[in-house]
Amino acid sequence: MRLFHLAVTLLGLVWGAVATSNGLTDLVTWDSYSLSVNGDRTYIYSAEFHYQRMPVPELWPDILQKFKANGFNAISVYFFWSYHSASEGVYDFETSGKNIQRLFDYAKEAGLWVIARAGPYCNAETNGGGLALWGSDGSMGVLRTADETYQEAWLPWITQVGEIIAANQITEGGPVILNQVENEYQENDHSPNATAVLHMIQIEEAFRDAGIVVPLTHNEKGMRSQSWSVDYQDVGGAVDIYGLDSYPGGLSCTNPTVGFNVNRLYYQWFQNYSYTQPEYVPEFEGGWFSAWGGGTFYDQCVAEHDPAFADVYYKNNIGQKITLHNIYMTWGGTNWGHSAAPVVYTSYDYSAPLRETRQQWNKLFQTKLVGLFTRVSSDLLKADMVGNGTGYSLSSNAAFSWVLRNPDTGATFTVVQQATTSSFSNISFSASLNTSAGAVTVPNVELYGRQSKIITTDYNFGSHSLLYSSADIAVYGVFDVDVIVMYLKEGQTGSFALKSDKKLSYKIWGASTFAASGNSTTASAFNYKQAAGTTVVKFLNGVVAYLLDQPTAWRLWAPPTTLDPAVAPHEQILVIGPYLVRDASVKLNTLYINGDNDDATTLEAYTGTAIDTIVWNGQSIEARKTAYGSYKADIPGAESREISLPALTAWKSADSLPEAQPAYDDSKWKVCDKTTTRSPVAPETLPVLFSSDYGYYAGTKVYRGYFDGANSSAVYISASGGLGFGWNAWLNGKLIGGHPGDGSFANTNATLALPSSALKAKGNVITVVVDYHGHDETSTAKGVENPRGILGSYLLPSGTAHNTGFTLWKIQGNAGGDANIDPVRGPMNEGGLYGERLGWHLPGFNPNSNSNSSSSKFDASGPTTGLSKSGIRFYATDFELDLDDDLDVPLGVELPSPAGTVARVMIWINGYQYGKYVPHLGPQTRFPIPPGVINNKGKNTMVLSLWAQTEEGAKLDEVKLFSYGQYQTSFKFSQDWSYLQPGWENREQYA
């Protein structure tokens, strides 16, 4: 099979001869090969990061430092309108986790560029797709069109966030190099008057008016359309640099043999539709999200965690000339509060390279090896497609290759993979390489199952050059000598040749078998078989070659000595051994390294200068010099450190559904009296009961419907809360039914019998509690404008849509509605449960205080006792932690429950709703809690709400704190987090 098309490639060469700018700045330019920043070609290796999913700004640097350490030079960031604008005309870019200036500052400090993605629509499996929830009442007009009402809604958002982005562009000394317009927005009608074209033009003009001068980009949603490229039917709205999203994995959590088929059509796609521009994937699969009712949680999805994914898929992209590569997600984070769209639950781990817990693992480490290679392989940034196909330049049709060559230097990159990339078979073949010294055949190239390699020829490193190498190059550094690092799997054969006029002598340290080869007459050629661990070869010409097996390579680091995101080979130090190296520098005769470590290990560093001491996280350790010029020191780990986590006891609890009782005072509630709505969805009955029409957007809603008479036999209720939501109804305090929730349904309805024994002649009240799993993205019907709460209700047998039989409906939601009375935690943290409205979930609330009107109702029962019948109850306890200052201990809460439990549970830690557990849906039972939400030192408050949806009641088997791991660290996880944890104030007015 051949995918190479000569005519198109030649056209690309012509276009690629001249760099292009947008006429507004020459600091970021491009051609058909790659992006240039500050005049230098750069491979953009970007990590998708959503600050909203980490409400502790002080932890953003932890994540960003891990990105940088793992080979990334940029981050891609959505700015969610919904997070910053709780009500129309109100914008918060300063409070706690909404302070995006801090994000830009932290990115610059970490040495990362920023690709800004401010929408206005984002998607991202976030609530409403990121559109402001105050527009969920239908007031924003026709979404994602040139509709004037919609433009008036989003323009203030783009103006305000755009001005902040503009102030942080590279032209202003900031990190922003690209700005995305809209998101996954398809151009189906290439007409200048099409509403999509006009909408794109509107947004582009708004960004430019806000001061954005860096190139504008967009992301095509898969290979479904041909949208917004200047190279294809540009009738308006085209961006500077076209991008293509792709999630090709098709992996299965339960069947590892499924999927793993790469897409080999990217190169041709870009040649057809964006041939004057570099190939850009603004979202390429880093994992996948999981839905309510899914059978497997992220922790068990081994297929998505496989480092082979990064090895095969990301190198496959390199083989197709992609030079702007963003991984979505690189760190997924947590859908805390009610920030999730209904398609996902609390965890947004995403099976991403960096876990939700901020823990690194082998998938990230293999991702790093690709990043370090692209960081130093400058010849890759101007490369033409020579050819590709099954067996192309290979001796076996069991393998597939992509062959790229730099037209200026002759450097060649041959990306090899299994012809059937899902294969677990081991194959061996020879590769025919064209080098500056003529044709060379390299035998015994081995792929062990799902593996890829990049074979290089005429690869320049420092003042030396490899004529060829069949081993993967991880990185190289220029020190007092040139140091190159290669890796293979243990037992695999590698071959390489150094350009040299004579046969080089060498010395070797390590267990790999290594010998000179007669494979080249114009270079010093060598063969070796990779052993476990590290093998080092020092050649007479001064070159030092590290030969690592793959697990050892995963603990290889190349910390930069510059804050510039573009790191030159001489601007780094090489380190092997620790779990993480955050930064490194040499001062006088001392190497200073800050990082994290799990198990005690030997650290090895190549600095190129003489040192006598290595200072690891402030601890001075004598450095031992090796015979080949590196230095070693034994550093501590955390494996033997004692971690003491308290049992959760001393619970206080109270009923959180007094609204079900007829005598409950709802005089302060909002009356549902609207007979019209701006919603594009018609109400089933009147008055309108949509929660957004009354200013309640996120969280649970509670309704009370009144009627007189004992003649009604049933009530019809239709409700909406997003996929997996549930609801219940009580008549005069007696449960009459509801719906437990189903991961396939966003709307449910039921006709519920009204027991005659519970009916009264006057003053009947039906209390309905409707859970909330977020507003929809625009992929679902009307998107954020799909109503939530009760869609309609009438009494039977005589009720109708216009004469329902009810005399009055009232609604209550989150305390303060859209007033955002807790700006620190933000507009999506709370809902309308009684305990939430009164602030029982907040630190400092005292159940025994005289200021709490419900204090007498609290008792000492706990969640393992639970409820013996239907209802909602709150449980609160305090606990102390005292974790050592130099430890990172990612913590979580585990909530197992008895089989068959039909219930809904929410978890608050120090006022943050950080978990929603639905045992009858699943799959999540373990909930990570980051420092800043939880205090590593001192007092913490945990509150649970337990909603038993049936008369069987509900309880939990256990509520348990646990640790995911422990790491000795230089990062300050024990801080005073009080500003992030505002406490309880009297909220009686919201009862």
- Give the model confidence (pLDDT) of 809-830 as tens digits: 999 999 999 999 999 999 999 9
- Are residues 287 and 346 both part of a single domain? yes
User: What's the pLDDT at 523?
Assistant: 85
Average pLDDT over all residues of the chain: 96
Q: pLDDT category, 479, cuts 50, 70, 90?
A: very high
Q: pLDDT category, 17, cuts 50, 70, 90?
A: very low
User: What's the pLDDT at 851?
Assistant: 54
Tell the burial category of 293 from Cβ atoms under 10 Å away from its Cβ (0-12, 13-18, 19+).
middle
- Are residues 730 and 847 both part of a single domain? no
- Are residues 346 and 428 both part of a single domain? no
Residue 817 counted as domain residue: no
Q: pLDDT category, 502, cuts 50, 70, 90?
A: confident
- Are residues 259 and 337 both part of a single domain? yes
- How many whole angstroms separate alpha carbon 181 and alpha carbon 519? 53
Q: How many CA atoms lie within 13 A of 933 on its CB side?
A: 29
- How many whole angstroms separate alpha carbon 554 and alpha carbon 361? 9
Is there a contact between 888 and 870 (Cβ–Cβ < 8 Å)?
A: no
pLDDT of residue 630 exceeding 70: yes
User: What's the pLDDT at 275?
Assistant: 98
Q: How many CA atoms lie within 13 A of 82 on its CB side?
A: 31
- Count how many domains the chain has: 4
pLDDT of residue 3 exceeding 70: no
- Are residues 704 and 621 both part of a single domain? no
- Are residues 611 and 675 both part of a single domain? no
Buried b (16+ CB within 10 A) or exposed e, 294-332: bebbbbebebbbbbbbbbbbbbbbbbbbbbbbbbbbbbb
Active-site amino acid positions: 184, 283
When pLDDT is averaged across residues 629-648 and rounded to a whole number, the result is 97
User: What's the pLDDT at 520?
Assistant: 73
Kindly give, in sequence order, each residue whose CB lies less than 8 Å from that of residue 114, ignoring residues fewer than 6 positions away. 74, 75, 76, 77, 104, 107, 168, 174, 175, 176, 177
- Are residues 461 and 523 both part of a single domain? yes
pLDDT of residue 855 exceeding 90: no
- How many whole angstroms separate alpha carbon 878 and alpha carbon 935? 12
pLDDT of residue 11 exceeding 50: no
CATH number of the CATH domain containing 571: 2.102.20.10
Q: Which residue has the tokens 């991403």?
A: 352
Q: Is 208 helix (H, G, I), strand (E, B) or coil?
A: helix
Share of the chain above pLDDT 90, in %: 95
Residue 15 counted as domain residue: yes
Share of the chain above pLDDT 70, in %: 97
Which tokens sit at 190? 């290439």
Got the DSSP string for 498-522? EE-SSPPPEEEESSSEEEEESS-SS
When pLDDT is averaged across residues 269-281 and rounded to a whole number, the result is 98
User: What's the pLDDT at 15?
Assistant: 40
When pLDDT is averaged across residues 681-688 and rounded to a whole number, the result is 98
User: What's the pLDDT at 7?
Assistant: 34
- Are residues 331 and 191 both part of a single domain? yes
Look up the pTM and report it: 0.97
Got the DSSP string for 250-302? ---SS-TTS-------HHHHHHHH-TTS-EEEEEEES-----TT-S--GGG-H
User: What's the pLDDT at 14?
Assistant: 39
Residue 820 counted as domain residue: no
Range of the domain at 338: 1-356
Residue 714 counted as domain residue: yes
φ/ψ region of 364 (left if φ > 0, alpha if ψ in -120 to 50, else beta) reads: alpha
How is the chain split among helix, strand and coil, in percent rounded to 5?
15, 35, 50
Kindly give, in sequence order, each residue whose CB lies less than 8 Å from that of residue 401, ignoring residues fewer than 6 positions away. 319, 388, 389, 391, 392, 393, 394, 414, 415, 416, 417, 431
Which tokens sit at 615? 């200072």
User: What's the pLDDT at 370?
Assistant: 98
CATH number of the CATH domain containing 672: 2.60.120.260
Tell the burial category of 725 from Cβ atoms under 10 Å away from its Cβ (0-12, 13-18, 19+).
buried
Query: CA 149, 150, 151 angle in degrees (round to 5)?
Result: 90
Residue 641 counted as domain residue: no
Is there a contact between 721 and 775 (Cβ–Cβ < 8 Å)?
A: no
When pLDDT is averaged across residues 712-730 and rounded to a whole number, the result is 98
User: What's the pLDDT at 857?
Assistant: 87
pLDDT in tens, 150-197: 999 999 999 999 999 999 999 999 999 999 999 999 999 999 999 999
Kindly give, in sequence order, each residue whose CB lies less than 8 Å from that of residue 66, ignoring residues fewer than 6 positions away. 331, 354, 358, 360, 364, 580, 582
- Are residues 411 and 552 both part of a single domain? yes
* Residue 343 CA to its chain's centroid (Å): 15
Query: CA 359, 303, 332 angle in degrees (round to 5)?
Result: 40
- Are residues 62 and 164 both part of a single domain? yes
Residue 544 counted as domain residue: yes
pLDDT of residue 39 exceeding 50: yes
- Are residues 307 and 159 both part of a single domain? yes
pLDDT in tens, 398-448: 999 999 999 999 999 999 999 999 999 999 999 999 999 999 999 999 999
- Are residues 27 and 84 both part of a single domain? yes
User: What's the pLDDT at 16?
Assistant: 43
When pLDDT is averaged across residues 326-334 and rounded to a whole number, the result is 98
> 944 φ, ψ to 5°?
-120, 140
User: What's the pLDDT at 606?
Assistant: 98
Residue 364 counted as domain residue: no
Show which of 324, 356, 388 is a domain's final residue. Answer: 356
When pLDDT is averaged across residues 631-651 and rounded to a whole number, the result is 97
pLDDT in tens, 366-388: 999 999 999 999 999 999 999 99
When pLDDT is averaged across residues 207-223 and rounded to a whole number, the result is 97
Got the DSSP string for 582-607? EEEEEETTEEEEEEEESS-EEEEEE-
Residue 366 counted as domain residue: no
Q: Across the strands, what pairs with 720?
A: 747, 789
